[in-house]
Amino acid sequence: MTPFETLAIYSVIILAISLLGGSLPLVYSWSSKQLHLFTGLSAGFFIAAAFLILIPESVSLMDPHDALATVMVGLIAVLLIERVILTHHHNHEHGHGDEHDGDEECEHVHALTSTAAFLGLAVHGTMDGFALGVAAILEPEVGALLFTAIIAHKGIEVMALATTFRLAEIPVRRSMGLVTAFSLLVPAAAFAALPLIDLMESLEVGFPLALAAGTFLYVGICDLLPEAFHLEKRGYRAFLMVVLGIAIMWVVSLVAGHPH
């Protein structure tokens, strides 16, 4: 089997797992309380992915100080975009004093959360795809390990993303379209990397991974955690869902590993 055929098989499997994970929050009519608890699970995934996968990877691929500084830049950039630029634009368009301001503001926050989640995961997915494409051609054994790592967490990532779409009340058909587009990112990036293999070897791939880590931290802590506890009186169940999400991602990181 040629490396191209192997990469094609990898791409089909990654796409199938991504679509399966993304469809779970969309095919069933979850209650608001269930969705918010589901958000706690997603928050755990995002936070653990940043600390257990993205930050260690970026630190190993570039100067540790620069890597952590880039993580901070990623977090601050999303903070600026979400809480200053987009919020100001929303307030300017809709004005103040409407009796439905509370509901509109809640929906607006959910929309910002889903947008930030999509952007952060898109960066991560693109880098996964580039790495897989290069490894499958140059180092087939490393490519197989990287493929295992990707499929171990990709379904979880897309499920978390789809949950933010549900909270933002994005129609199911449009949400599924976004999930499909996102699921195609890894295969597309993998094949796009093939004619650029010489260039890819010289790039500092830790930089976008560190930026994605900052995005993940912001989305997980600033957006998803407040949503998870929004409808909870004491917060026990939401807390357990967050811990469960972290535990699942921790096990995934141990089992799959992340080869450099």
pLDDT digit string (tens) for 44-74? 888 988 898 889 888 988 899 999 999 999 8
Give the C-alpha separation, 229 to 194, whole Å: 44
Give the C-alpha separation, 42 to 149, whole Å: 19
| Mean pLDDT (the chain, rounded) | 79
Q: Average the pLDDT over 88-115 and give the result.
A: 54
Give the C-alpha separation, 119 to 77, whole Å: 12
From residue 135, alpha-carbon distances to 12, 18, 52, 102, 157 in Å are: 17, 21, 22, 49, 22
Checking if the pLDDT of 187 tops 50, the result is yes
Sign of the torsion angle spanned by Cα atoms 68, 70, 71, 77: positive
- pLDDT, position 227: 77
Give the C-alpha separation, 130 to 177, whole Å: 23
Most trustworthy range by pLDDT among 23-27, 98-102, 197-201? 23-27
Of the chain, the percentage scoring pLDDT greater than 70 comes to 81
**Backbone region of residue 98 per phi and psi (left: phi > 0; alpha: psi in -120 to 50; beta: other values):** beta
Most trustworthy range by pLDDT among 3-7, 12-16, 31-35, 148-152? 12-16
- pLDDT, position 201: 57
Q: Judge residue 165's burial from the number of C-beta atoms within 10 Å of its C-beta, 0-12 exposed, 13-18 middle, 19 or more buried.
A: buried
